[in-house]
A = this chain, B = another copy of it.
């Protein structure tokens, strides 16, 4: 493999000059620059990014931790994060914590050893105090964490309000909300609060059903949904905290011969591809995932430049009306 020295020899300049061209440092004449580039091209010279990272004590990688790569919400989020990172000349190292606290800690330590430029955390709340003190910027998405970091989220509370208001306006009087995982702080908690507030203000009967951590990891809610629908035959409206759950409500209703939307109306959350791929298509709360990814990457880069960044960014949600209501 060609080295800096080979490039210098071929272009007839010193190694220092080649290094200056590479790092765009100091005055270099147009002519010299062209000579060096030509030599690099002819020798198929590839700068050693590892050596460059070592001299900077920092790489241009962004570490991302998600709880669940295959969940449709995270699949879409990762897609947008990668796109935004690449635009700014960063690459992503992707880690799947399977929502395990110990795996998150392992990954955070690994990111530290690899001198990542920044970390995007979409997983549980962990004590990231020590990472902040090490000057690795951390941005969390949909999981507000400690002070000293930036959190990007959608207006989950407003999402709960929009969902409940819409179901009530469509004539529902007995609502069930499939919310987050029991005993765990989730973005779904604020959705519940907004939902319950509207139900109480309108004297609407309502029930909140939490799921188990395993249901979330396995993306499997059918038996939970079936038992709730059997125990509550009067239910005429459901607010699901993800489109994934909403899709499974449609399937269980079909199995139990409950007509959607005539007998049962459903509102999901996220607005990922599955919402428009199932039949009937799912009315849902749209999360601005693309914009959230942009904000997260921008904040991270601002942090690396020591600019002042917001500690919390909340983006608005909207109701997308489709066939389940």
Contacts and interface: CB of A to CB of B under 8 A. Distances in A.
A278 interface: yes
A86 B78 CA distance: 18
A69 B91 contact: no
Interface string A46-82: 1111110110010101000000011010011011001
Contacts of A247: 277-278
Nearest to A135: B1
A280 to B, nearest CB: 8
A94 B110 contact: no
15 contacts: A46-B109, A46-B112, A69-B75, A69-B78, A69-B79, A70-B79, A72-B72, A83-B96, A91-B95, A93-B93, A247-B277, A248-B277, A251-B279, A254-B279, A278-B279
A254 to B, nearest CB: 5
Nearest to A52: B113
**Oligomer: number of copies:** 2
A250 interface: yes
Nearest to A82: B96
A199 interface: no
- The interface size bin for chain A is 35 or more
A49 B115 contact: yes
Interface of A: 1, 44, 46-51, 53-54, 57, 59, 61, 69-70, 72, 75-76, 78-79, 82-83, 86, 91-96, 109-110, 112-115, 130, 134, 219, 244, 247-248, 250-251, 254, 273-274, 277-279, 281
Nearest to A47: B113
A1 B130 CA distance: 12
Contacts of A114: 49-50, 91
A69 to B, nearest CB: 4
A110 B75 CA distance: 23
A93 B61 contact: yes
A51 B113 CA distance: 10
B92 A93 contact: yes
Contacts of A279: 250-251, 254, 278-279
Contacts of A86: 95-96
Contacts of A274: 274, 277
